[in-house]
Chains A and B, each alone.
Chain A
Amino acid sequence: MDPEERLCADLSFLDHGMRIEQKISDFNPPAETQSSFACNFDNQAGITSQKDYQMNVAQESNRIQDWDPRSTLSSLSFLEKKIHHLQDLIQYITGRRGQFTGQSDELLVQQQMLITADLTSIIVQVMSTAGSLLPSVDCSHVANPSPSAGVSQNVVLPENYSLNKVEDLTGYENCTVEDHELKSEDDPDEGENLPPGSYEILQLEKDEILAPHTHFCTICGKGFKRDANLRMHMRGHGDEYKTPAALAKPNKESGSESILVKRYSCPFVGCKRNKDHKRFQPLKTILCMKNHYKRTHCDKTYMCSRCNVKKFSVIADLKTHEKHCGKDKWLCSCGTSFSRKDKLFGHIALFQGHTPAIPVDEAKASVGPSDQGQISEATTKIESKDFNFKSNVVEVKGSGNDPTNCFSPLDFGDSNAGEFHEFPRPPFEDSESSFSFLFSGSCDYSSKNGRY
């Protein structure tokens, strides 16, 4: 693969950002696809004139030579882990926003900080690992995101760039913050392995995606409720679809005709799955695309009726969740929950700073009336009893609310104990105050003992 070409593809959106935006408002997918292909070449002269990029390109070609598939694989699996983790984290955030509104602000802020820190670190890790993944990726973006790329681009098209940049960032954030998709369709190397241009990009519109279609055109991706309608539609793609045979049943040979592999683009501008994104990662199938769009860019309308916390935009996700909802009792401080304790401990062993979270019910129970409450209850109880008792036995000096105060007349021998048995006490004199009263007191007490 030619790295220069790759670069062109990467940077193509810069110039045409405005154009694309306009097109988006038109919602005209095929045209757009074409235009983006075209723009790859429009731009070539401008970019090759930039020295920074030539250097990068040279480096890149070296890199390709010592590309090690094993390290890529390991990076990939690392990425996968990270991304899963990220997902869980975000799920947790969204989950807890609804759940813990009543919690103390301080706690919330603390947790928020923890989560944000986690998020940042994971994103950085993900970005750096992803950057070093494959020869086809331009490392300069990742290793050195703003200075080399940003400046040089600014030189070319400062206005456009800044516009796009903002948009891109917001889009990117969107992607990461609400990225629920990656489970099934995110197969990064699939996208990466295919050099741009080696596959055909199809982009369905929002309405198409959200329509409850089950039959899709293999050429343009348009969806239909009924297969018959699809067959009718296919006639528009050429005469070969007009034969009775083709109309009678789905034509399978037609797929082999198109040489280009089909990949799908998300219509959401700024999304990484959008074909205009800098590091565009195409979606493999139409179903992937549908799920991606719903998960990432749509409201979550399906709520779990069991926990009333988790929301999903794809009903299958809800069903998956419902299978183990309530069983995820093993919580990490990062908010990830696990259905198995050993999974939680594996997670904690892997990550720095994560600790097992104490289940909420235990926390509540202990903070609440159980431990402390009992004690204080006992205290007050005894205080009152104690008071009664003392009034029977001796006159009390007066007792405050402090239980130890209450007891002090009874802890006789300790009335002078400030020195903590450091000074030997003179045997008899000292204890007069405390000792004698019990003699008198005990007689008194025994007479009134019947009261108890």
Chain B
Amino acid sequence: MKKQKSIPEPNFNRFDLLSDEIVFLILDSLDDPLDKKSVSLVCKSLYAIESRHRKILKPLRSEHMKKNLIRYPFISHLDLSLCPVITDSSLGVISGYCKETLRSINLSRPRFFSHVGLSNLLVNCRNLVEIDLSNATNLKDLAAASIAEAKNLEKLWLVRCKSITDIGLGCIAVGCRKLKLLSLKWCFGVGDLGVGLIAVKCKEIRSLDLSYLPITNKCLFQVLELQHLEDLILEGCFGIDDDSLTALKQGCTSLETLDMSRCQNVSHIGLSSLTSAAGCLRQLSLSYGSQVDLALADSLQKLSMLQFIKLDGCQVTSSGLKAIGICCVSLTELSLSKCSGVTDEGLSSLVTKCVDLRKLDVTCCRTITYASVAHITNSCTSLTSLRMESCTMVSAEAFILIGQRCQFLEELDLTENNIDDEGLKSISRCSQLASLKLGICPNITDKGLIHIGNCCSKLIELDLYRSAEITDSSILAIARGCTLIETINIAYCKNITDRSLVSLSKCSKLNTLESRGCPLITSFGLAAIAMGCKQLTKLDIKKCQNIDDTGMVPLAYFSQNLRQINLSYTSVTDVGLLSLANIRCLQSMTVLHLECLTPSGLAAALLACGGLTKVKLPLSFKSLLPPPITEHLEYRGCVFQWRDKAFQTDYDPKSWKLQLTEEE
């Protein structure tokens, strides 16, 4: 490798003494892309080395593809999912520069390329093993035929490629014999024949996603003969029913993950014949399927290796849960989210058997009470994740138990619960806590949250949505104690002021801030955030009416990573909006009910923001914007969403007030 010489300087550049290999090793151990960026900014030689070290590129725009690819000659993974537009010519550039080095490409978002560009790419980049073409709804069988040129392909995602039919899939089956992973979710044009041919030709398949395909047992028989099949996803396959499954002579022995959620026509009978041979099944999802009762639990009996069961949205009986507890003792994950019929009795008897449970989701199991939580905390002491949103019958005392007994918790969702400050104080003992959701918990105050701020130093995500009692002192404590915090939601916490934002600006990792409906926040606070939190990517300041253009200008200059902003109901005008064009990453903008916005100002701002992919605008502007401009923006890959919502003056709509008072 040629080493770049720096221009002769009076001072000898010591970094030149480092060999490429050493710098590579250093770069290898840097996880944060920003750190790598810092390295590349030190001097020219490090810049060059970093360029050669870079393997992954995820550009936001395709316009400068050529320059980027020249700078980074060894890119093996190219993620274009953030680019609004990829045309055949940009694919041509990629295929011209990347050639054999490229191994993986993600084209899951961008539009405007056709099978011609795709074919060009696949012919030139012969070492491609991974392609993500999800959402390419315009691609037809010809594109599939060009995919078939990639003989080395191992992973292929075609999610929502609705226009590809059996014929195209047949081409892929014949061409890509080394396929290990294939996702055909929502490829409605594909049926038994195409999938059957995949199973016949691609014997290496490990993972197959057939969700929502109009397939029947015909191809399922062939699929189950795949020797190496480990993951099989059959979500929403209505064509598969018990009758066909019982005809199954031999199930797949290698299966480890099976997802049969939303298979309405499959009951325990079909399931047991399908899993009869799958002794090493580890994960099973039966969400939104048939009733979970004793018979279903019996069909799980042979699956002694089962670690993860997902039964979301099922009708559950206590005896069924009890039986699952008895036969699946090695369970580490259980999800009963939105199940009806989960009672204290059933859940308690299950958790007392499954003592190894790490993750438990009982979201919206509204009938469980203190007793369940007592049993959970008593037997499953190694829980790392507990999600119990909207378990409104659970009393405040139960949360004290959680803090006392489950100290390994990393994720805790207590949205819409009766937790109070005592509970929070107890939970603050969970020092590993990374995600804490306390939305719509009207009983918590600063007193409890300060404990969290003081003790949970690893907190990354905090949700305080509509926890109306909290004030600045909570946020101050959080900002001081939880310096790693990345996401915070203080929406509709009416008492929050700029002081909170100023304190949060010290949290340099903060990337998502939602402060909807905080009327006391002003541009001053926002400016502090903009200057302090350089990583900010999502900002929602809807209904912060005291934020105006003076808040936008610093945002535009400091928050260069901002991708998504909601400005509705603020006092921002044309000037503020236009200044946002300086943020090159900005992709999504919601601009509703800005009183001082003019059509021309909006047009100028939209044109100036070159990377926009989604704009939500009031319907009234649709006729006011010149059609050539909207057309031009659409060509650049921007999607318009026109909204016609009535202006809401109330910060706390009556429904919320009512609901909250009811609970109190």
A residues apposed to B, CB below 8 Å: 330, 341-342, 345, 348-349, 353-359, 362-363, 366-367, 371-372, 375, 378-379, 381-382, 385-386, 388-389, 404, 407-408, 410-414, 417-425, 427-428, 431, 435, 438-439, 441-442, 445-446, 449, 452
Contact = CB atoms under 8 A, between A and B. Distances in A.
Contact of B174 (A342, A348, A385): A348
Contacts of B631: 378, 381-382, 385
Contacts of B168: 356, 358
B37 A422 contact: yes
A295 to B, nearest CB: 32
Contacts of A421: 60, 560, 584-585
A414 B610 contact: yes
Interface string B5-39: 00000000000000000000000000000000100
A342 B193 contact: yes
> What 4 A-B pairs have minimum CB-CB distances, sorted nearest first?
A452-B626, A411-B610, A446-B600, A356-B170
Interface string B616-653: 00000000001111011001100000000000000000
A362 B138 CA distance: 13
B59 A420 contact: yes
B40 A348 contact: no
A256 to B, nearest CB: 53
Nearest to B59: A420
Given A349-B197, A382-B631, A414 B63 contact: yes
A315 B397 CA distance: 92
Nearest to A405: B63
B59 A349 contact: no
A427 B173 CA distance: 53
Given A378-B635, A382-B631, A446-B598, A438 B608 contact: yes
Contacts of B574: 442
Given A349-B197, A424-B560, A372 B632 contact: no
A404 B68 contact: no
B175 interface: yes
Nearest to B167: A356
Contacts of B627: 452
A366 B197 contact: no
B88 interface: yes
A363 B171 CA distance: 14
A362 B142 contact: yes
Given A367-B142, A452-B629, 17 more contacts: A330-B167, A341-B166, A345-B170, A349-B200, A356-B170, A372-B116, A385-B631, A385-B632, A407-B63, A408-B63, A412-B610, A417-B61, A417-B64, A420-B71, A442-B600, A449-B600, A452-B626
A435 B582 contact: yes
Given A427-B557, A452-B627, A414 B171 contact: no
A428 B557 CA distance: 8
Contact of B628 (A389, A422, A435): A389
A441 B603 CA distance: 11
22 contacts: A348-B197, A349-B196, A355-B145, A355-B170, A355-B175, A358-B171, A366-B140, A366-B142, A367-B142, A371-B115, A379-B635, A385-B632, A413-B581, A413-B583, A414-B63, A414-B64, A417-B64, A427-B558, A438-B581, A439-B578, A449-B600, A449-B603
Contact of B170 (A348, A363, A414, A420): A348
B193 A452 contact: no
Contact of A404 (B63, B140, B629): B63
A386 B115 contact: no
| Most chain A beta-carbon contacts within 10 A, residue among B167, B581, B584 | B167
A439 B610 CA distance: 16
Contact of A345 (B166, B582, B610, B628): B166
Nearest to B114: A371
A452 B585 contact: no
A151 to B, nearest CB: 43
A410 B635 contact: no
B88 A413 contact: no
A276 B377 CA distance: 93
Contact of A410 (B68, B87, B170, B608): B608
Contacts of A419: 71
A377 B635 CA distance: 11
B63 A442 contact: no
Given A389-B628, A422-B40, A439-B578, A372 B88 contact: yes
B393 interface: no
B601 A442 contact: yes
A382 B67 CA distance: 25
A424 B583 CA distance: 11
A389 B629 contact: yes
B41 interface: yes
Report whether over half of chain B's contact residues are helix, strand or loop; otherwise say mixed: helix
- B interface bracket (residues with beta carbon within 8 Å of A): 35 or more
B610 A410 contact: yes
Contact of A358 (B142, B599, B604): B142
B629 A382 contact: no
Interface string B108-120: 0000101110000
A445 B112 CA distance: 29
Interface in B57-94: 59-61, 63-64, 67-68, 71, 87-88
B115 A375 contact: no
B600 A418 contact: no
Given A358-B142, A375-B87, A345 B193 contact: yes
Given A354-B174, A410-B607, A412-B581, A445 B193 contact: no
Contacts of A379: 635
B584 A414 contact: yes
Contacts of A418: 64, 67
A422 to B, nearest CB: 6
A355 B174 contact: yes
Contacts of A407: 63, 610, 636
B528 to A, nearest CB: 16
Nearest to B601: A442
Interface string B491-533: 0000000000000000000000000000000000000000000
Contacts of A413: 581-584, 608, 610
B141 interface: yes
A325 B581 CA distance: 61
B268 interface: no
Contacts of B560: 421, 424-425
Contacts of B636: 407
Interface in B193-225: 193-194, 196-197, 200-201
Given A413-B581, A439-B578, A445-B604, A375 B112 contact: yes
Nearest to B586: A413
A445 B201 contact: no
B148 A355 contact: yes
A362 B140 CA distance: 8
A341 B141 contact: no
Nearest to A425: B560
B196 A345 contact: yes
Nearest to B61: A414
A371 B88 CA distance: 11
A47 B196 CA distance: 55
Nearest to A351: B174
Contacts of A330: 167
A167 B60 CA distance: 70
Contacts of B194: 345
| Most chain A beta-carbon contacts within 10 A, residue among B585, B599, B601, B629 | B629
A403 to B, nearest CB: 8
Contacts of A362: 140-142
A363 B627 CA distance: 33
Nearest to B558: A427
Contact of B67 (A359, A420, A441): A420
A135 B320 CA distance: 67
A357 B165 CA distance: 12
Interface string B456-477: 0000000000000000000000
A229 B64 CA distance: 90
Contacts of B71: 419-420
Contacts of B558: 427
